[in-house]
C-alpha cells in the first residue's frame, strides 16, 4: 500500500509539473553576449560569420567533406543546439533525415520551426530544378521543393547573407548598423571576386560536363557550364552497369572530358568512365571546409574554379 | 380624235419616263454596291486585325511558356545571364517561390486543404520463414506489419506523432503522442502512448532494427515484440555535464499495462521508467553511447488475485551500450555498429504451491553490423537469457544477417537464426524480410 500511495503522489506531482511547465510563456533569448548561431552546413556558417563578424559565434553541424543528406543526428549536436539563438538551415528537405529529431530534442524553444531563431536560407535563394507535375520516388531521392545545393552560386550567397544580416539586426537592433556594414563590405568583395571568377571561366563557357550527383546546377548556371549527364542513374541511386555504359557512349558522342565528383562519393565508377572516355575526374568541393585551405566562402569558389580550369586545359 | 392624240402623247412620253426611272435605279444599285464593297473592305480589315491580334497573343503565350519560370533579378554585376543597373544589383532579387511540385493529390478541388495534412508514410514489413522451431513457431509467410505514420507540427509549442501498426491479427496504436518542444528550462515532454525509454531496442520500431526479429531477452524479459509500450507521460532533459559529454535523463509514468510485464488493477497501479544516458564522441567518426534504465510496475501475476494484488511487482534493471564508427567522407559506404543490452528482471508471482516468490532472471544480447558497400551490410547477434517466470530456464541463440539496400526506401534482409531452448529443443530457421517505405517517414532519434 505504501508503494501505491507513493505512486499516486508521484503521478500527481509529475502531471502538475507538466501542466505548469506547459502553461509558462516561452522566454525570449536573454543572451547579452555574442549571438550563438548553429548552421546545418559549413557554407551557411561561413556566410553567417561574414555578416556577423565578432558579434556572433558560429558552429556548423555538417562538415564540408560530408554528404549533407546523411549526417548522423548525434546527441553531441544537441549540446550546440540547446544554446543556440539562431539555427540556419539549408531547407528544401536536404536535412530531413537528421535535423528534425535534433530540433525536437534540443529543448530550445528559440530554434523551433517558425520561431524567431529558425532561419531557412532557401527562402532567400534562387532555387533551380523544381519538379513540375507529379513527383514520385521512381525519380530517385528527388527533392520536391527544388534542388537544395543552391549555395554554389555567388548570387545566392549574397541573397542569403542579406537575409542573415536582416535577421541578426532584428535580434540585436543595437548592432543593426554593424551587420549592415558587414553585409555591404561582403557584397562589395563578392562582386569583385565574382567578376574575376566569371572572367576566368569565360574561355570555357558552354563546356559540357558530367557530375556524380545533382549538386551543381546553380554553379553551372552561374558559370555557364552545361551539365549533360550524371554518374547516378537517379538522384541517390548508386551507378548501375547499364547506365554507366550509356553515360560512356554519351560522353564519347558529345566529347565530354570532365567528370565532377563530390568528395564523399566513391571514385571507382567515375575513374572507370574516365579511362574509357579519356576524361578527367575532378573532385570538386561543394562546401567550405572540404579541404583545409577552403576556410571561407570566397576560397570555395577559388578552389573549385582553379580545379576546373586545370581540368579543361588538360583535356582540351 | 382627242383620245387618239392623248394616247399618242402618252406613248411618246412613256419611253422617256421609263428610261429616267431606269437611270435612277442603276444609280441606287451602284450606291448599294459601293456600300457593300466598303463594308466588305471593313470586314476584311477587321478580320486581318483580329488575325494579327491572335498571332500576337500566341507569340506572347509561347514566349511566356518558354521563358524561365521566374528569372531572378541579377545580384552581381558580373553574373552572366542578365545585366541590370547598379542600383538593382545592390538589392538581392526575390527568391523563387511560385513554382512548386505537386504531390499525388487525387481529390482535385480539396488539394489546397491537403497542404496542412500531416506527413503520411506507410512502411511494409513482409516476413518469410523456413526451417523448424517447435518452441516459438512463426508463420511461413506473413505481412508482419504495416506501419502507418502520421506526423505534423501542431502549433508553435508542440508536434504530434502517430504510428499505427496493422498486423495480420488487427490494428494497434504502436505510438501516438504529443511532444511539447517549447517548454522552458530545456525540458521536452511527451504525452500519449509511447515506447518506454528502457534501454535502446525497446524504443526502436521494427523497421529500424538491425534484425528481422527482436533479441531473445526482449521476448523473455520485456514482454515480446511490443515491449514496454503504454500510455503515459514522459519528461526529458539534458543534464549539466563535463564539456563534450552529453548526459540526458528521462522520467516516465505509465498507466501500468505493458504486454506481460506490467498489469494494473486500479488507477494507482502505474508503472515508472527512468533512463540515464551518457554519450561521447571519441572522434568525428566514432562515438559511444551508454545508458542505464530502471522500471517498476505491477506484475501481471497479481492481477487475478483477490487479496493484495498490489503487492506483486516487477522490477527491471537495464544497461545498454552502443559503439558506432562511421567515417564522414565515406559514410554511405562503410560503417560499423556494435550494440549490447543487459536486463535483470525481478518478478513477484505465486509458485506452483501458491507461495509468494520473486523470480530473478538475467538476459543479454550483443550484436554487430558492418556496412560492406553502399548496398550491402552484414551482421550477427548472440542471445542468452533466462525467463521472467522461470528464471532457471535459459535460452541461447545466435543469428547471422545479410542486408541489401536497393535504395534508401527499400531493404531486403536475410537472417539465419539458431536457438537452443531450455527445454533442450533446437530451432533452426532461415528468415527473409522485405521492407519498403511509402511517403515521408520522419527521421528517428539517434
For chain A positions 279-308, those within 8 Å of chain B (CB to CB) are none
Q: What is the ipTM of this complex?
A: 0.86
Q: Indicate yes or no: CB of B268 within 8 angstroms of CB of A96.
A: no
How far apart are the C-alpha atoms of B297 and B252, rounded to whole Å?
A: 12
Question: Which residue of chain B comes nearest to A16, CA vs CA?
Answer: B233
Residue B234 has a pLDDT of: 98
Q: Which residues of B touch A65 (CB under 8 A)?
A: 328-329
Residue B328 has a pLDDT of: 93
Q: Indicate yes or no: CB of B279 within 8 angstroms of CB of A75.
A: yes
Top residue of A75, A103, A147, A180 to mutate, by most chain B CBs within 10 Å, is A75
Q: Indicate yes or no: CB of A105 within 8 angstroms of CB of B188.
A: yes
| Position A107 pLDDT exceeds 90 | yes
Give the CA count within 13 Å in the CB-facing half-sphere of B130: 3
Q: Indicate yes or no: CB of B100 within 8 angstroms of CB of A223.
A: no
What domains can be seen in chain A, in order of their start residue? 35-195 (3.40.50.1980), 198-315 (3.40.50.1980)
Q: Indicate yes or no: CB of B238 within 8 angstroms of CB of A263.
A: no
Question: Which residue of chain A comes nearest to B269, CA vs CA?
Answer: A4
Q: What is the pLDDT along chain B (446 residues), one digit of tens a residue?
A: 444 444 444 444 444 444 445 555 566 677 777 777 777 777 777 777 777 677 666 655 555 544 444 333 334 433 433 333 333 344 455 554 434 444 443 444 445 556 788 999 999 999 999 999 999 999 999 999 999 999 999 999 999 999 999 998 899 999 999 999 999 999 999 999 999 999 999 999 999 999 999 999 999 999 998 899 999 999 999 999 988 899 999 999 999 998 889 998 888 899 999 999 999 999 999 999 999 999 999 988 877 766 666 788 999 999 999 999 999 999 999 999 999 999 999 999 988 887 889 999 999 999 999 999 999 999 999 999 999 999 999 999 999 999 999 998 999 999 999 999 999 999 999 999 999 999 888 788 78
Residue B352 has a pLDDT of: 82
Size of interface A-B (CB pairs under 8 A): 230
DSSP code at position B116: G
Q: Which helix (H) or strand (E) holds B238?
A: strand B229-239
Question: Which residue of chain B comes nearest to A143, CA vs CA?
Answer: B101
The torsion region of residue A279 among left (phi > 0), alpha (psi -120 to 50) and beta comes to beta
How far apart are the C-alpha atoms of A280 and B172, rounded to whole Å?
A: 56
CB contact A13 to B (< 8 Å): no
How far apart are the C-alpha atoms of A286 and A66, rounded to whole Å?
A: 10
Top residue of B65, B73, B79, B247 to mutate, by most chain A CBs within 10 Å, is B79
Question: Which residue of chain A comes nearest to B78, CA vs CA?
Answer: A195
pLDDT band at residue A13, thresholds of 50, 70 and 90?
Answer: low
Residue B78 has a pLDDT of: 37
CB contact A66 to B (< 8 Å): yes
As a CATH number, domain B179-432 is 2.40.160.10
Question: Which residue of chain A comes nearest to B187, CA vs CA?
Answer: A107
Question: Which residue of chain A comes nearest to B374, CA vs CA?
Answer: A238
Rg for chain B, CA atoms, rounded: 41
Tell me which residue in B248, B328, B440 faces A63 most closely, judged by beta carbons.
B328
Instruction: Give A212→chain B minimum CA distance, Å.
Output: 14
Return the SS3 of B189: strand
Torsion of CA B368, B369, B370, B374, to 10 degrees: -170
Phi, psi of B385 (to 5 degrees): -160, 145
pLDDT in tens, A251-286: 999 999 999 999 999 999 999 999 999 999 999 999
Q: Indicate yes or no: CB of B189 within 8 angstroms of CB of A74.
A: no
Question: The whole model's pTM is what?
Answer: 0.81
Q: How many CB atoms lie within 10 A of CB B369?
A: 19
How far apart are the C-alpha atoms of B2 and A133, rounded to whole Å?
A: 102
Q: Indicate yes or no: CB of B75 within 8 angstroms of CB of A7.
A: no
Residue B350 has a pLDDT of: 87
DSSP state string for B42-87: HHHHHHHHHHHHHHHHHHHHHHHHHS-TTPPPP-STT-TT----HH
CB contact A8 to B (< 8 Å): yes
Give the CA count within 13 Å in the CB-facing half-sphere of A108: 29
Q: Indicate yes or no: CB of A74 within 8 angstroms of CB of B69.
A: no
For chain A positions 138-177, those within 8 Å of chain B (CB to CB) are 140-141, 144-146, 154-155, 158-159, 162
Amino acid at each position: 500500500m505504501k508503494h501505491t500511495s507513493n505512486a499516486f503522489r508521484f503521478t500527481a506531482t509529475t502531471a502538475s509539473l507538466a501542466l505548469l511547465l506547459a502553461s509558462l510563456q516561452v522566454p525570449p533569448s536573454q543572451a547579452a553576449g555574442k549571438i550563438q548561431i548553429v548552421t546545418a552546413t559549413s557554407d551557411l556558417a561561413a556566410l553567417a560569420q561574414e555578416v556577423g563578424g565578432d558579434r556572433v559565434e558560429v558552429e556548423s553541424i555538417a562538415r564540408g567533406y560530408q554528404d549533407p543528406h546523411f549526417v548522423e543526428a548525434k546527441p553531441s549536436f544537441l549540446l550546440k543546439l540547446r544554446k543556440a539563438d539562431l539555427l540556419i538551415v539549408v531547407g528544401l528537405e536536404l536535412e530531413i533525415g537528421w535535423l528534425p529529431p535534433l530540433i525536437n530534442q534540443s529543448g530550445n524553444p528559440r530554434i523551433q520551426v517558425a520561431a524567431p531563431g529558425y532561419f531557412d536560407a532557401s527562402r532567400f535563394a534562387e532555387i533551380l530544378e523544381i519538379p513540375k507535375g507529379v513527383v514520385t520516388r521512381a525519380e530517385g531521392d528527388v527533392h520536391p521543393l527544388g534542388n537544395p545545393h543552391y549555395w554554389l552560386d555567388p548570387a545566392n550567397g549574397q541573397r542569403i547573407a542579406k537575409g542573415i544580416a536582416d535577421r541578426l539586426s532584428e535580434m540585436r537592433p543595437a548592432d543593426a548598423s554593424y551587420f549592415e556594414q558587414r553585409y555591404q563590405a561582403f557584397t562589395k568583395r563578392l562582386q569583385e571576386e565574382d567578376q574575376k571568377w566569371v572572367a576566368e571561366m569565360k574561355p570555357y563557357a558552354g563546356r559540357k560536363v558530367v557530375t556524380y550527383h545533382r549538386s551543381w546546377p546553380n554553379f553551372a548556371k552561374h558559370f555557364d557550364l552545361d551539365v549533360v549527364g550524371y554518374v547516378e542513374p537517379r538522384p541517390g541511386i548508386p551507378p548501375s552497369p547499364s547506365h554507366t555504359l550509356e553515360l560512356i557512349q554519351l560522353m564519347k558522342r558529345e566529347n565530354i572530358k570532365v567528370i565532377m565528383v563530390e568528395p564523399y562519393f566513391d571514385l571507382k565508377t567515375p575513374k572507370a568512365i574516365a579511362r574509357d572516355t579519356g576524361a578527367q575526374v575532378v573532385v570538386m568541393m561543394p562546401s567550405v571546409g572540404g579541404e583545409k585551405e577552403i576556410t571561407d566562402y570566397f576560397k570555395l569558389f577559388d578552389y573549385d574554379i582553379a580545379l576546373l580550369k586545370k581540368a579543361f586545359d588538360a583535356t582540351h | 380624235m382627242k383620245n387618239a392624240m392623248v394616247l399618242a402623247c402618252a406613248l411618246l412620253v412613256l419611253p422617256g419616263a421609263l428610261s429616267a426611272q431606269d437611270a435612277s435605279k442603276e444609280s441606287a444599285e451602284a450606291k448599294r454596291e459601293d456600300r457593300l464593297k466598303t463594308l466588305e473592305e471593313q470586314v476584311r480589315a477587321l478580320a486581318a486585325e483580329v488575325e494579327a491580334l491572335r498571332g500576337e497573343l500566341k507569340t506572347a503565350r509561347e514566349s511566356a511558356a518558354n521563358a524561365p519560370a521566374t528569372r531572378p533579378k541579377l545580384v552581381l554585376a558580373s553574373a552572366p545571364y542578365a545585366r541590370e543597373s547598379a542600383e538593382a544589383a545592390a538589392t538581392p532579387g526575390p527568391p523563387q517561390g511560385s513554382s512548386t511540385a505537386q504531390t499525388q493529390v487525387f481529390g482535385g478541388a480539396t488539394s489546397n486543404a491537403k497542404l496542412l495534412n500531416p506527413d503520411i508514410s506507410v512502411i511494409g514489413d513482409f516476413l518469410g520463414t523456413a526451417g523448424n522451431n517447435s518452441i516459438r513457431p512463426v508463420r511461413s509467410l506473413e505481412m508482419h506489419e504495416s506501419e502507418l505514420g502520421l506526423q505534423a507540427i501542431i502549433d508553435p509549442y508542440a508536434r504530434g506523432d502517430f504510428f499505427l501498426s496493422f498486423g495480420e491479427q488487427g490494428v494497434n496504436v504502436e505510438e501516438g503522442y504529443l511532444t511539447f518542444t517549447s517548454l522552458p528550462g530545456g525540458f521536452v515532454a511527451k504525452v500519449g502512448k509511447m515506447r518506454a525509454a528502457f534501454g535502446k531496442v525497446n524504443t526502436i520500431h521494427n523497421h529500424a532494427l538491425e534484425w528481422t526479429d527482436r533479441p531473445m531477452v526482449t521476448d523473455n524479459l520485456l514482454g515480446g515484440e511490443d515491449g514496454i509500450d503504454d500510455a503515459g507521460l514522459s519528461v526529458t532533459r539534458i543534464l549539466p555535464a563535463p564539456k563534450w559529454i552529453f548526459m540526458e535523463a528521462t522520467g516516465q509514468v505509465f498507466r501500468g499495462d505493458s504486454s506481460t510485464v506490467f498489469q494494473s488493477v486500479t488507477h494507482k497501479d502505474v508503472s515508472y521508467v527512468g533512463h540515464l544516458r551518457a554519450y561521447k564522441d571519441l572522434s568525428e567518426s566514432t562515438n559511444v553511447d551508454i545508458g542505464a534504465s530502471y522500471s517498476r510496475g505491477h506484475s501481471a501475476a497479481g492481477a487475478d488475485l483477490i487479496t493484495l494484488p498490489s503487492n506483486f511487482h516487477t522490477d527491471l534493471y537495464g544497461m545498454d551500450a552502443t559503439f558506432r564508427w562511421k567515417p564522414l567522407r565515406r559514410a554511405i559506404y562503410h560503417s560499423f555498429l556494435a550494440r549490447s543490452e543487459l536486463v535483470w528482471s525481478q518478478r513477484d508471482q505465486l509458485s506452483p504451491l501458491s507461495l509468494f516468490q520473486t523470480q530473478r532472471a538475467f538476459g543479454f544480447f550483443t550484436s554487430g553490423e558492418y556496412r560492406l558497400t553502399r548496398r550491402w551490410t552484414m551482421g550477427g547477434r548472440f542471445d542468452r537469457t533466462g525467463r521472467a517466470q522461470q528464471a532457471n530456464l535459459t535460452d541461447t541463440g545466435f543469428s547471422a544477417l545479410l542486408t541489401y539496400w536497393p535504395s534508401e526506401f527499400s531493404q531486403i534482409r536475410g537472417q539465419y537464426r539458431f536457438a537452443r531452448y531450455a527445454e533442450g529443443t533446437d530451432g533452426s530457421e532461415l528468415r527473409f524480410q522485405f521492407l519498403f517505405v511509402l511517403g515521408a517517414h520522419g527521421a528517428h532519434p539517434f
